[in-house]
Every structure is written in structure tokens, then in C-alpha cells.
Amino acid sequence: MPTWIGQAVRNGIVTTRYPEVPASESEIPPTGRPPVPTQGPNSLRAGVSLCPVGAISERAVDQGKCIRCARCLPGGFEFLGPVEAAVLTRSALAAEESPGALSRPIPPLAPLSRSLHVFLVDAGSCNACNLEVLALTNPLYDSQRLGIFFTNSPRHADVLLVVGVPTDEMVEPLRRAYDALPAPKAVVAVGVCAISGGAFAGIEGLHDSLDQLLPVDVYVPGCPPAPVNVLDGLLRATGRGRRT
């Protein structure tokens, strides 16, 4: 018997059952959940001076800025937020409620609920978001079982998935890629670099948020988001996923 068949028999099925069942702890690193204040206003007040990127105010944590550095944990925060943290509006990431519990506008790709083709653009990432997104194609996450495929041409895609903080040089390629997608289409911003600039916000030559350049439909917070977080964001675009 070839070795790989023997391995398959020994290992059984390793593919995650997410989103049919909740993600297991082994599929979510501690920083795969947003930080939440465990002592309410006291934690928020303590966190303001601890956070290096200004994600914490006295009212809420802006998940669209949080780089998951853990410096706020001594001030009374824990990574206990929902795995399903992708949202359809930027303001929802900075709201006082938990991101996953917020109101739900109509998903942009509701007509394409069964199959999605995704065109990935790295607009200026550190490569970590890139790797987490591409992990969706490995046997553990196997995005194809959910009808999610990656394509090398924007003309064949339904989703423009962008990682990284957009550089000046990427503005025109991003616009051309967006224009090449046939309708209906959606833009999914993955990682805080694409959402707010993350740790690189304010640097010359960079555009702090993708939604200054393109209409973003789904925001997936994290630095980097885990593959399950990205899967949640893609399913969110179609109205599928654990929350629906």
C-alpha cells in the first residue's frame, strides 16, 4: 500500500467542519479573537495609554485598528471576542457592542450564495495575511468544499480580496482589478492594514485604508486574521456562515 494511503487511513478526515460546527480552539490562535475589556470602563480607561496604535478609547476598542499586540492585557483585556468578527461596515468595528453581534445589512453577494471565486491582491502586506488567506486552500480548511475558489484573473472573480496597507504604487492596479470584476462583485478587506493602516497608519506613501480607494463590502479584522476568520468574512459576503 502506498505510504500516503496508509497515512490517510491512520489520520482519518482532518478537514475542519467549520462553519457547520464552531471552530475548535486549535483552529483559533489566542489572537484570532478580538480583545474585550473584562472590567468594562475601568479596563478601557487603563487601555488607552497601553495601546500603541490608539485602538482603545474610553468608550470602545476599535477592532479595525487593533494589531493584537497584547499590550492591553495587563490593563484588564482578554482575547475573548467572537471568531465571527467580520462586519459589513467600518463603523461596526469601532462600536461599543461586540462586532459579531451588530446589525446586519444585506450581504453584497447574497445572489451568489453557493459559489464564490476570489481574486487575491497583496496591496502592501507583511506577508502574514497573505499566508493565512492562502491556507484556506490546504486540506485542513479546504475552502472548495464550501464553493470558495481562488482564481488568477479578476475577470473570473466575484470577490476582490485585499491584504496589506495600499501603497501609492498599488492604487492604479487595485482600481483596474476592481473594474475588471464582473457584477455582482464585492471587496473584502482582510487584516487591519487594509482596514486602517494598522501599525503603518500615517506613513508617507501609504493609504491608510482601502475604503479610501474602493467600496469595501466586508471588513475582516485581525493582524493577521486566522484562516477561519477569513472564511467567516467570505461567507459573510454571501449571507452564509455561522451567524446565518
Q: Which residues bind ligand SF4 (CB under 6 A)?
A: 35, 50-51, 53, 55-56, 61, 66-72, 77, 125-126, 128-129, 163-164, 191-193, 198-199, 223-224
Q: How many angstroms separate the CA atoms of 2 and 198, rounded?
A: 47
User: How near is the Cβ of 209 to ligand SF4 at its closest, in Å?
Assistant: 12
Q: How many angstroms separate the CA atoms of 50 and 74, rounded?
A: 9
Q: Which is nearer to ligand SF4, 8 or 131 (CB)?
A: 131
User: How near is the Cβ of 129 to ligand SF4 at its closest, in Å?
Assistant: 3
Residues 6+ apart with CB under 8 A from 150: 117, 118, 119, 120, 134, 136, 137, 143
With CA atoms as reference, report the closest residue to 121 among 210, 50, 37: 210
Q: Which is nearer to ligand SF4, 79 or 149 (CB)?
A: 79
User: How near is the Cβ of 180 to ligand SF4 at its closest, in Å?
Assistant: 24
Q: How many angstroms separate the CA atoms of 55 and 197, rounded?
A: 12
Q: Which is nearer to ligand SF4, 35 or 107 (CB)?
A: 35
User: How near is the Cβ of 10 to ligand SF4 at its closest, in Å?
Assistant: 34
Q: Which is nearer to ligand SF4, 50 or 102 (CB)?
A: 50
Q: Which is nearer to ligand SF4, 171 or 199 (CB)?
A: 199
Q: Which is nearer to ligand SF4, 72 or 87 (CB)?
A: 72
CA 189, 192, 195, 199 torsion-angle sign: negative
User: How near is the Cβ of 16 to ligand SF4 at its closest, in Å?
Assistant: 21
User: How near is the Cβ of 69 to ligand SF4 at its closest, in Å?
Assistant: 4
DSSP-based three-state secondary structure for 143 = helix
Residues 6+ apart with CB under 8 A from 178: 154, 160, 185, 187, 214
User: How near is the Cβ of 173 to ligand SF4 at its closest, in Å?
Assistant: 17
Q: Which is nearer to ligand SF4, 73 or 180 (CB)?
A: 73
192, three cell numbers? 487591519
Q: What is the DSSP letter of 182?
A: P
Residue 26 burial by Cβ neighbours in a 10 Å radius (0-12, 13-18, 19+): exposed
